Amino acid sequence: MSIVDSDLYLRFVIGELDAEVLHTSPERHIRCNPVLGQFIRNDRFQVVSVDGAFDRAHLDPAFVAQRESLVSRGYARLLELAAMEGDCDLRQYPLPGVHSEAR
């Protein structure tokens, strides 16, 4: 699986997962987590929808806007990481400031 398909690394780059548990957390495709994937807005990602109470249409518009901004920036970061040649230090993966924002 490519990093751009990774729910695990998306959650890491947006500050929802600490590096200490990255290696022990289960991996899944972003599409297998539609509650998160529905907030990605990027031409390279096909829109995901959610049925039920967690559909973005049922959530607070301010929360949706904030979440969409963060998760879309995180997905763009995954695309950047995938395009990099050579190894990148894991500490450089997250979006700037997200770990301090998420805590």
Summarize pLDDT for 39-82 with one digit per residue, the tens.
999 999 999 999 999 999 999 999 999 999 999 999 999 999 99
- Residues of the chain with pLDDT > 90, as a percent, come to 78
Distance CA 14, CA 35 (A): 15
Sign of CA dihedral 17, 25, 38, 84: positive
Residue 103 has pLDDT above 50, yes or no: no
Query: Which residues are CB-neighbours of 52 under 8 A, at least 6 positions away?
Result: 58
State the average pLDDT over residues 79-103. Answer: 79
Give the 3-state secondary structure percentages of the chain, helix then strand then coil, rounded to 5. 55, 0, 45
Q: What's the whole-model pTM score? A: 0.90
